[in-house]
Structure 1
Amino acid sequence: MGDYRSSSHVYWRCKYHIVWTPKYRFKILKGNVAKELYRSIYILLNMKDCEVLELNIQPDHVHLVALVPPKVSISSLMGVLKGRSAIRLFNKFPHIRKKLWGNHFWAKGYFVDSVGVNEAIIRRYVRHQDKEELEYENQLELLKN
């Protein structure tokens, strides 16, 4: 039972791979904005008794592998993550409001998948996402030239 957690009446291991994007997939998650978002995700997950296993913030999307207790639904977790992080980012970086009109930071949807047998593969993918994106962009540049 080493990989399992326990609560009062349940043993659990609920790991999820979650991906979400800024509105219009704008590439705004860079520099200090990315650092603040990274910090916010850790704080918000901790408040919900969740644990970050892997986190990778790309300029236009976020990859997260998290351990989420069964008492927390993914939809409520995403509501907190997207809502509270947007408020924090808008307050800390007011210039973002001008780029993202309508007071919405995040796109409406998100991707979620439960992590099971392929945990090591998914965590490695999230950890090295930036390298794969860079390699893909370099290949596109070669094709353009």
Structure 2
Amino acid sequence: MKEKYNKLVKTLDTNNHSVFNLNYHLVLVVKYRRKVLNKQMVSRIREIGEYIGNRYHINFLEVNHEKDHMHILFKAHPKSALSKYIGAFKSASSRLIKKEYPHVKEKLWKECFWSQSYCLISTGGTV
């Protein structure tokens, strides 16, 4: 038990009045599950997400993808407004991907890149 506790303490973040470890798994799906994602695009989407994440105290830990969806594991701060961050991230990444990869527009419906919905799951455990 002590070993498990020590491992947990090393992963905790702090601020003035709290100790926390807030990890989330976000799944974003391309509208109508169009198979358009590739490594280069996903790398760019990650850059966009990390840049916007700085304003929301969000740090990416891991990103994986298939051709029609992405999995993003990230750390957040108690002050992070997750739904606002996800909205800003989806909006900016959609706009920039369509601008930087114009061939993607041909495969999209009404130029919507992401599905309107998303899946956000808290991860982690307790001692």
Please report the TM-score for the alignment, with normalisation by the length of structure 2.
0.81
Higher fraction of strand: 2
Report the aligned-residue RMSD: 1.9
Partner SS state of residue 110, structure 2: helix
28, 32, 35: which one pairs with 1:27? 35
What is the match of residue 128 of structure 1? none
Range that drifts further, 5-14 or 17-26: 5-14
Please report the TM-score for the alignment, with normalisation by the length of structure 1.
0.72
49, 63, 66: which one pairs with 1:58? 66
Per-residue deviation at 1:100?
A: 1.5
The percent of aligned pairs where both chains have the same amino acid is 27
64, 78, 87: which one pairs with 1:79? 87
Do structure 1's residue 112 and structure 2's residue 120 form an aligned pair? Answer: yes
- Segments ≥4 residues shifted beyond 6 Å: none
Per-residue deviation at 1:50?
A: 1.1
Cα pair 1:82 1:106 within 8 Å, conserved = yes
Per-residue deviation at 1:31?
A: 4.4
Aligned length in residues: 118
| Higher RCO structure (Cα 8 Å, ≥6 apart) | 2
What code does the residue aligned with 1:87 have? R
Cα pair 1:38 1:57 within 8 Å, conserved = no
Structure 1: unaligned runs, 5 residues or longer: 119-145
Higher fraction of helix: 1
Query: In the TM superposition, what are the counterparts of 1:117-128 in structure 2 within 5 Å?
Result: 117=125
